[in-house]
Amino acid sequence: MPNPSTSIPDSPGCWTLAGIHGRLAAFASSPGVPMHVPAAPTLLVDLGGTNVRFGVADPSRDKPLLTDSIRRYRVAEHDSLVSTAKQYLADTGLQVSRAIVAAAGRIVDGETVKVTNNPWAISAHQTASALGLEYVHLVNDFAAQSMAVTLLQGDDLVDVGTVPRPVIGAENEQTFAIVGPGTGLGVGGLLVRQGHCSVLQTEGGHAGFAAHTPEDIAILDYLNHKYGRVSNERLICGQGLVNLYDAICHIVGAKAADLKPEDITKRAKDGSCPLCTRTVETFAGIFGSVAGDLVLTLGAWDGVYLTGGLIPVLLPWLERGRFRERFEAKGRFRDIMEKVPTQAIMNPEPGLLGAAAIAVLESGQSLLPRR
């Protein structure tokens, strides 16, 4: 399948998705066939600040991620990606030919990445050489999470709202938004054009927060005095829960307790703290506004996928209405927004799943259903 994601560069290990969106228009008008590599067992790595997850993909399978191959290791207990990968391969007895590393950091020239909140510095060339692999491809972790959407099935998703779930590849042109609150706020896009999938990477989480309600304005005022400029990420992420809780306590004149994000969600769930409950309800509403703005910005009329570590925890509040209410509240575009589906990703390994999807593309196969 002709797709810019499947190109294998001259220098080993220097392929990334970073340039896809810049090449998309030219590619769409020029159906040249890029080089592919034969399907082979591929090491998958999802590398964050605290944990590193490993798995293996068989790109020839309908479900390429081998679920029984998944293992997790703590970064602090190992001195490098290479040593941890060797440990993983020894633990599982699996053999691989190449690797795709999805890392939470900026990929530099396709060759190196310094992971945020992680002491490891990674070189694609050196990693491939040390592990005896054909090549190592470094990709941004949210590029992988965006591509994971193509492999989600059944219980991997929960509908948020009543709009029917979209079918990826059902139309010649589709645009989907992917937004993920976790340690930070990731924003990406999945573009389907004439049977080809590409990922659009952005730093949309750092776009400025737009206040819509009197409570929003009071929260913005509080956080503006604390931080200066207030981005969406200041509110919609793990630390964002704490920021919202502190702001709400300030608004009502209550003394804020020293709480972590998990404390806030736990107290909201068991009903022991009304301010924590208000915090997660406010989070759900603002998250809806942010996701709706993303649809307008990207033209993602075909749907939005909600991902990230906070989604399973906050799902009950996303389903209770404030998310969709503010998602749809876009003035003259309300009628259109009411028809845009939103789904929560419940698969616990979207990073590895997305890396497996990339492995499928590299082997020259399609991720879309045949029409």
Taking the model in full, what pTM does it have?
A: 0.85
Phi, psi angle pair for 37, to nearest 5° = -120, 150
| Tokens of residue 195, six digits | 């049977």
Range list of H helices, 149-298: 214-227, 238-252, 261-270, 274-298
User: 86: helix, coil or strand?
Assistant: helix
Separation between Cα atoms, residue 103 and residue 116, nearest integer Å: 9
What burial class does residue 214 get, using C-beta atoms within 10 Å of its C-beta: 0-12 exposed, 13-18 middle, 19+ buried? exposed
Under a CB-based contact definition with an 8 Å cutoff, are residues 140 and 178 in contact? no
pLDDT tens by residue, the chain, 371 residues: 333 333 333 333 333 333 333 333 322 222 222 346 788 999 999 998 788 999 999 999 999 999 999 999 999 999 999 999 999 999 999 999 999 999 887 788 778 887 766 788 899 999 999 999 999 999 988 889 999 999 998 899 999 999 999 999 999 999 999 999 988 898 989 999 988 899 887 888 999 999 999 999 999 999 999 999 999 999 999 999 999 999 999 999 999 999 999 999 999 999 999 999 999 999 999 999 999 999 999 999 999 999 988 999 999 999 998 999 999 999 999 999 999 999 999 999 999 999 999 999 999 888 887 65
248 in Cβ contact with 278 (< 8 Å): yes
What crossing angle do the helices spanning 350-362 and 141-148 adopt, rounded to 10°? 80
